[in-house]
Amino acid sequence: GCGGGDDKGSGGDDGKLVLGFSQVGAESGWRTANTKDIQAEAAAAGFELKFSDAGGKQEQQIAAIRGFITQKVDVIAFSPVVTSGWDAVLKEAKDADIPVILTDRAVDSQDTSLYKTFLGSDFVEEGKKAGNWLVKEYEGKNEPVNVVELQGTTGSAPAIDRQKGFAEAIKANPNIKIVKAQTGDFKRADGKTVMEQFLQSTPDIDVLYAHNDDMGLGAIEAIEAAGKKPGKDIKIITVDAVKDGMTALAAGKINYIVECSPLLGKQLMDLAKKVKAGEDVPQRVLTEETTFTPEQAKAALPDRKY
């Protein structure tokens, strides 16, 4: 640094806080919006951002984090692709005295001193909101309701928790049955191919619950190709509320979306500043979210930023 003794601890040559961020990949519209927001907010905060895209691979995330440790960045943040297998690299960061912020997704490490805080949504709650809507939709009816579930990346926190919350919400209604569940890896193309298989193997699907908008949008293509009407012949519930999802919701092809906000950048930069300064931060920082019906989507779409 060049500002004398008071810039000690700031890793950048020019005294800027250096943030190393390891992103999952670019699997969905949510992820793209999340990446853009983090880049924009890092610039707005005057931080130097070292951004690394892991292409959906845990080994690449671990390598990126090790790289950040070698480069002695001030703060490391990352969105773990899966929940397990992080203890060793988190221990390395801790031993190097570099604070870590979990962003968006959780890890299953028992030792919570391995990271400073976890910023992101409550995915169990999201799954519950999706299930509660479905229960309400079929209230007072006893006919069987056949649900197929397109799950997110296997072993990821949002896939585990959205499955769990949904199952809890519907469990008191034995007529509502999950007849098929498979991963579509949070991707549009996979959502389409898995839905094609569901449609071939299961003739009477009433409802699709997709763990994100992209998989739901891929499934809509498969449903239309099979000569059925998405939103009518098959009701569709998704999570995220990105613009493409909201557009399909407003058009009646999706029936309900549970919001999951990708705009974590501002809160992440504030937390990075604080952990760098050695200030206390809460162990858990939750994002505020809502839900959307088609009418609400129509009203919200003109101002939707992502």
Residue 217 amino acid letter? L
> Residues 32 to 61: which contact ligand GYE by CB under 6 A?
none
Query: From CA 1, how far away is CA 11, in angstroms rounded?
Result: 8
Give the bridge partners for 85, in sequence order: none
- Least Cα distance to 31 among 148, 162, 188, 163 occurs for 188
The least distance separating ligand GYE from the CB of residue 211, rounded to whole angstroms, comes to 7
Choose between 105 and 180: whose C-beta lies nearer to ligand GYE. Answer: 105
65 contacts 52 by C-beta, under 8 angstroms: no
Choose between 16 and 31: whose C-beta lies nearer to ligand GYE. Answer: 31
Query: From CA 144, how far away is CA 203, in angstroms rounded?
Result: 13
The least distance separating ligand GYE from the CB of residue 212, rounded to whole angstroms, comes to 3
Host H or E run for residue 86: none
Q: Render 135-159 in DSSP notation, one character per residue.
A: HHHTTT--S-EEEEEEE-STT-HHH
Tokens read off for 170:
């519907």
The three-class DSSP label of residue 237 is: strand
The least distance separating ligand GYE from the CB of residue 249, rounded to whole angstroms, comes to 15
Choose between 57 and 232: whose C-beta lies nearer to ligand GYE. Answer: 57
Matching residue, tokens 């490490």? 109
The least distance separating ligand GYE from the CB of residue 263, rounded to whole angstroms, comes to 12
Stretches 10-18, 22-30, 192-200, 276-284: which one binds ligand GYE (CB under 6 A)? 22-30
- Which of 260, 264, 275, 297 forms a contact with ligand GYE (CB under 6 A)? 260
Residue 64 amino acid letter? A
> Residues 184 to 243: which contact ligand GYE by CB under 6 A?
186, 212, 214, 239-240
Residue 206: Cβ within 10 Å count: 18
The least distance separating ligand GYE from the CB of residue 7, rounded to whole angstroms, comes to 35
- Which of 158, 184, 191, 231 forms a contact with ligand GYE (CB under 6 A)? 158
- Which of 11, 23, 30, 115 forms a contact with ligand GYE (CB under 6 A)? 30
The least distance separating ligand GYE from the CB of residue 54, rounded to whole angstroms, comes to 13
Label the pairing between strands 207-210 and 48-53. unpaired
Q: Render 145-200 in DSSP notation, one character per residue.
A: EEEEEEE-STT-HHHHHHHHHHHHHHTT-TTEEEEEEEE-TT-HHHHHHHHHHHHH
> Residues 94 to 153: which contact ligand GYE by CB under 6 A?
104-105
**Site size for ligand GYE, by CB under 6 A?**
13
- Least Cα distance to 230 among 202, 208, 200 occurs for 208
Choose between 158 and 230: whose C-beta lies nearer to ligand GYE. Answer: 158
The least distance separating ligand GYE from the CB of residue 213, rounded to whole angstroms, comes to 7
Stretches 28-36, 39-47, 52-60, 176-184: which one binds ligand GYE (CB under 6 A)? 28-36
Judged by the rule CB under 6 A, the positions of this chain that interact with ligand GYE are: 27-28, 30-31, 104-105, 158, 186, 212, 214, 239-240, 260
